[in-house]
Amino acid sequence: MSKAVTAQPPSTLSRLWHKWRFHINILLLLVPLGFMPKYFADASLFRGDSGLGERDVGTVQVGPWSLQLAELRNEGPRPDGPAGYMKSFNAALSDSSIDQVKAAYLRIGKPRSLRAAGVIFFGTPYRMGATLPIPERTKADADLWITLEGWDGSMHQASIPLSQASPATVAWLAQRGAKQ
């Protein structure tokens, strides 16, 4: 007296899964490939293979020394939590300046003293980086000041217009000014 067990027909979801699982797995492999070009571009930028940054500002003469300055990203400042908005710059000292420069600083507005020289560049003299805070009340005609301190105690400063150093930041400031 055995009962015959009737087989249940497979559910619609089960049928779809068995029919399309190969295609879904291929899709899961292909989606990350779409992000690979940006990943390789960023890796090249951070390694220095594609220059100091996305936008080269040019050579800045600071007293007897010079440095090459570049924006890391050609975009407006990014928010950084309680620190406010920040903008990243990279620099490289000229070959003749490398042994003579002790420290390099970057600031918006003229520094009052060496203690207020701004943010310090970090890294090797061939590729230094600094993340500069952009104050909320920065004017579009502000200057970006570079201070170089020598091993002999000398200090030299130079400025370039913010519009030359970072047009994207000036556009960002103009846009923010319209909102306030």
Taking phi over 0 as left and psi of -120 to 50 as alpha, with beta for the rest, 145 belongs to beta
Mean pLDDT, residues 146-160 taken together: 95
Asked whether the beta carbons of 102 and 117 are under 8 A apart, the reply is no
Is residue 1 over pLDDT 90?
no
Look at residue 16 in the predicted model and tell me its pLDDT: 85
pLDDT in tens, 96-121: 999 999 999 999 999 988 888 899 99
Look at residue 74 in the predicted model and tell me its pLDDT: 92
- 35 and 75: one domain? no
Please give the Cα distance from 164 to 61 (Å, whole number): 15
- 46 and 59: one domain? no
What backbone phi and psi angles, to 5 degrees, belong to 150? -90, 165
Is the model more confident about 49 or about 75? 75
Range of the domain at 35: 11-50
Global confidence as pTM: 0.80
Which residues, listed in sequence order, are joined to residue 43 by a DSSP beta bridge? none
Q: Note whether residue 5 is domain-resident.
A: no
Is residue 6 over pLDDT 80?
no
Q: Which stretches of 59-180 are DSSP H helices?
A: 162-165, 167-179
Per-residue pLDDT band at 150 (split at 50, 70, 90): very high
Q: Note whether residue 6 is domain-resident.
A: no
pLDDT in tens, 126-136: 999 999 999 88
Q: Note whether residue 22 is domain-resident.
A: yes
Look at residue 179 in the predicted model and tell me its pLDDT: 55
Number of domains in the chain: 2
Give the domain CATH number at 157. Answer: 2.60.40
Dihedral sign for Cα atoms in the order 40, 45, 48, 49: positive
- 89 and 160: one domain? yes
Is residue 177 over pLDDT 90?
no
Which residues in 39-154 belong to E strands, given as ranges? 55-62, 65-71, 78-79, 85-93, 101-108, 119-120, 122-124, 127-134, 143-150
Q: Note whether residue 110 is domain-resident.
A: yes
Q: Note whether residue 1 is domain-resident.
A: no
Please give the Cα distance from 119 to 58 (Å, whole number): 20
Which residues, listed in sequence order, are joined to residue 1 by a DSSP beta bridge? none
Amino acid 108 reads I
- 162 and 96: one domain? yes
Look at residue 10 in the predicted model and tell me its pLDDT: 80
Per-residue pLDDT band at 71 (split at 50, 70, 90): very high
